[in-house]
Amino acid sequence: MRVMVTGGTGFTGSHSVRALQEAGHDICLLVRDPDKVKRVYEPLGVSIDDIVVGDMEDPGPVGEALSGCDAVLHAAAMVDLKASQARAVIETNRAGVENVVGQAAERGLERIVYVSSLSIFFHPGCPPLHPDLPIPPASTAYGESKAAAEVYVRSLQERGAPIHVTYPVGIIGPDDPGMSDANHAVYSWFRDLTLRTSSGFQIVDVRDVAELHRLLIEHRGRPGRFAAAGEMLAWNDIPEFISSLTGTRIRALTIPGPMLRVLGRIGDRVKGVVDFNFPLTRDSMCFATQWPGTEDPTASRSLGLRFRPVRETYVDTLRWMQRAGHLSAEQIGRLADARAPRRPAGRLGSRPGA
């Protein structure tokens, strides 16, 4: 099939493109920066020649990219925590879904895959998460945009559009072109420290998400909703978990969950004076300290997909971080590749949104 992909120069999108291309599908990318295509795909050994330059908000380029396609994977989204960007996040993500998913449905494409987030179902005190929960009121611009997109996509599903929705959480893994949030958190454990606090978090390997997207592009069953989350990891266990992998130690600071949520409220107030793109917010701290886990972390088994063990994901991610120069051989200890350049780990610059 010929598959149009948005977000193809991002972390999830680039891995999904590689999985689709390896399965024999032809790819058309809708991108804003054509020069980035080469920078992202050359290290992966992937060549993409079919490119349409444009924004997902613009119906013209979206229509051009969809022309002649059998399927679409909409993985693009604007992510920005700055208060000044709240309206832009909402409007950009809304327009993107309506243009890409909406046009694909109108044109009668065989397969439409939309990438959402399991976090849209979260609220403090909620039960274990699954994709059939009601959507609670959003408290952030990004959450509001994803919730509105979910309502729109479900309305199309109800009218018979062949749309599959995936709900990843905490995507990490190797070969990240922009050091996305979950990978940056791993990096920060070694550069700075981690926390011991209440609850825990879940991750999913980007390669498993990519495989899920390939399976859904090829799936001939009824449209569905698919969670993508691995096993739960307790914050209190992270230092020992990392040590068991690397033989090295990372620093940890103990802060009770209620105190972190108070600090998040302070961060919200500070943002009213000094805007910053950093997750010290009440909502982020609620996610971190009250995450309930998923009702069925292997909900994609109906497709024959098994998410790989978290140990394997972290091992591969840390080894890639050394090869890429983000972490040093000394930091990742026994996982270090002696053949990799021995250079000090540098500090990362600003990170683009997904």
Question: Coil, helix or strand for 79?
Answer: coil
Rounded Cα–Cα distance for residues 345 and 32 (Å):
31
Cα torsion angle, 58, 223, 7, 215, sign = negative
Q: Which residues pair with 238 in a beta bridge?
A: none
Total domains in the fold of the chain? 1
260 vs 284: CA distance, rounded Å: 10
The reply to whether 253 falls in a domain is: no
What is the rounded distance in angstroms from the CA atom of residue 268 to the CA atom of residue 264?
6
In a domain, 340, yes or no: no
Task: Classify residue 87: in a domain, yes or no.
Answer: yes
- In the three-class reduction of DSSP (H, G, I as helix; E, B as strand; rest coil), residue 66 is classed as helix
Contact (CB, 8 A) for 327 and 318:
yes
Q: Could you report the per-residue pLDDT of 107-162, keeping only the tens digit for each?
A: 999 999 999 999 999 999 999 999 989 999 887 888 888 889 999 999 999 999 99
Taking the complete model, does pTM exceed 0.85, yes or no?
Answer: yes
Which residues lie closer than 8 Å to 285 by C-beta, 6 or more apart? 257, 260, 261, 263, 264
Burial string for 74-113 (b: 16+ CB within 10 Å, else e) reads: bbbbbbbbeeebbeebbebbbbbbbbbbbbbbeeebebbb
Q: Alpha-carbon Rg of the chain, whole angstroms?
A: 20
Q: Return phi, psi of residue 290, to 5°.
A: -135, 15
pLDDT at 84: 78
Residue 314 lies in a domain: no
Does residue 91 fall inside a structural domain?
yes
What amino acid occupies position 170?
G
Sort strands 232-234 and 200-202 into parallel, antiparallel or unpaired. Answer: antiparallel
CA–CA separation, 316 vs 42, rounded Å?
A: 20
Find the CATH number of the domain harbouring 70: 3.40.50.720
Would you state the structure tokens that stand for residue 101, as one six-digit string?
């998913």
Residue-wise pLDDT tens digits, 298-334 = 556 778 888 999 999 999 999 999 999 999 999 999 9
Q: Which residue carries 């700075």 as its tokens? A: 192
Query: Which residues form the domain of 160?
Result: 2-178+203-232+292-303
In a domain, 271, yes or no: no
Q: Are strands 225-228 and 163-168 parallel, antiparallel or unpaired?
A: parallel
> Which H helix or E strand runs over 27?
strand 26-31
Of 218, 216, 190, 195, whose CA–CA distance to 24 is shortest?
A: 218
Instruction: Tell me the mean pLDDT in the region 259-287.
Output: 82
Integer angstrom CA distances of residue 63 from 59, 156, 284, 322: 6, 18, 36, 41
- At 33-92, the pLDDT tens digits run 999 999 999 988 899 989 999 999 999 999 999 999 999 999 998 887 677 788 888 898
SS3 152: helix
Q: What's the mean pLDDT when you consider all of the chain?
A: 90
